[in-house]
Structure 1
Amino acid sequence: MTKAITSALSNVDITFKPIKHLYLRIERDSGRVKISAPKGTKMRAIETFLREKSHWILQKQRAARKRRASNQPPPGSIKLWGEQVRLQIERGKKRAVTQDPPDVLRITLLPGDDEIQQEQVLDQYYRDELSQKIKQLAPHWEHTLKVSANEYRVKKMRTRWGSCNIPKQRIWLNLWLAEKPIEQLELVLVHELVHLIEPGHGGRFQAIMTQHMPDWRDRDKALNLR
């Protein structure tokens, strides 16, 4: 391989599975290469496969770098519901977060806290914000779609904005949706609820989405242009 290609493929995760063919995926945010390979596949075969796909891989990794650069808020600030918010770090006797004025997020940390505790406090704030918005949006959409989720949960996800466990009627939403405009959270929420009606993404799924959220494709495009 050329030097550029070798460098681009330096971080490759290979998982051997009971499958028949090699599969390739690029993590949207990190640009990391993920390979699923049949058990017993020789490394030489995997290297050849990567070499054949190298041009496509480089394109995807360049796009990932551009997204990260364009979405990165200035130092000392975060994004909350699509708006840039300045962080103000203070020290006190109790960890807390307040947003006052609206464009400033005051995080109070204990005197001995470091960046790890700061991230944990911010993650919890995102989680609380997201849970509150879900409680506001879910009843309307459950009534509109005539479905009911048993549970909504929030977690960090690297490759999905949401997922739906249909047998358990449990919906997971990505913590990072708290950075996005609320209409994009609403899109993912509706998307997962529609899966309680139609498991796949085919014509019936798309028709239901269009019927109840005519601009869903525009919202989806905006969400994934990050």
Structure 2
Amino acid sequence: MEIEINRKDIKNLRIKVEDGIIKVSAPKRTSEREIKSIIKNNLDTIERLKEEDSYKKRYKNHLFGEKIEVKSEKEIEKIYRLELEKALDNIFEKYEKITGLSPKTVQIRKMKVRWGTCYPKSGDIKINLYLAERPIEQIEAVVLHELVHLKYFYHDEKFINECKKYMPNYEEIERELKR
């Protein structure tokens, strides 16, 4: 179990798992013994974080859910951008027709936390570049989700029902995206 400790000007100790490495951010004055004790007392949480991290890597170096061979991160990002642009053109066209909703602009961006973002007032939608790793059905769910935000701002019952109207298995796909 590889552990990386980073001491910072923070008040509370934080633990996360990235690429199989346990990363601890600790206040500068926290002793080694205290850090080890906290890790030992939180092994269940760390195991859960490791499992969640393994799901994140499940689609690494994939294009639309299929494994591809690449030499560098730069190369894969170029492939993702090119292929995702083509796929999004078709997917947006499909869901714009059936929902009657249309964004003013669509941009592909590298995002760390979200698959997509909608700005209803301006009509702009941003899609995460790394969504290209996921199966087409999941990309469609994200596009539908962001389009429906042009009509409903909150993730309330009306929003969910609107998504399910066009994609009956929407909630199931959303759960897959969160894994």
Counterpart pick for 2:102 among 148, 151, 167: 148
Counterpart pick for 1:201 among 152, 155, 174: 155
How many residues are matched?
Answer: 165
**1:84 maps to what in 2?**
67
Structure 1: 5+ residue stretches without partners: 17-21, 35-42, 45-50, 90-117
| Greater fraction helix | 2
* Greater gyration radius: 1
The one-letter code matched in structure 2 to 1:86 is E
C-alpha contact (below 8 Å) 2:116/2:146 kept by paired residues: yes
How many Å apart are 1:136 and its aligned residue?
Answer: 0.7
Question: Normalising to structure 2: TM-score of the pair?
Answer: 0.73
C-alpha contact (below 8 Å) 1:13/1:33 kept by paired residues: no
**Given the superposition, is the C-alpha separation of residues 62 and 210 from structure 1 closer, same or farther in structure 2, using an over 3 Å criterion?**
same
Question: Normalising to structure 1: TM-score of the pair?
Answer: 0.60
Counterpart pick for 1:61 among 34, 49, 68: 49
Q: Does 1:214 align with 2:168?
A: yes
The one-letter code matched in structure 2 to 1:182 is I
Whole-angstrom distance in 1 between the partners of 2:83 and 2:91: 13
C-alpha contact (below 8 Å) 2:59/2:134 kept by paired residues: no
The one-letter code matched in structure 1 to 2:158 is R
How many Å apart are 1:128 and its aligned residue?
Answer: 1.2
The one-letter code matched in structure 2 to 1:64 is E
Structure 2: 5+ residue stretches without partners: 31-37
Which whole-Å deviations, capped at 9, do the CAs of 1:168-210 have from their partners, x for residues lacking one? 1111111111111111100000000000110010111111011
Whole-angstrom distance in 1 between the partners of 2:66 and 2:115: 19
1:9-24 equivalent positions in 2, closer than 5 A: 10=5
Higher relative contact order (Cα pairs below 8 Å, separated by 6+ residues): 2
| Coordinate RMSD, CA, aligned | 3.5
Whole-angstrom distance in 2 between the partners of 1:135 and 1:186: 11
C-alpha contact (below 8 Å) 1:154/1:174 kept by paired residues: yes
The one-letter code matched in structure 1 to 2:167 is M
How many Å apart are 1:80 and its aligned residue?
Answer: 0.9
How many Å apart are 1:119 and its aligned residue?
Answer: 2.5
SS in 2 for 1:164: strand
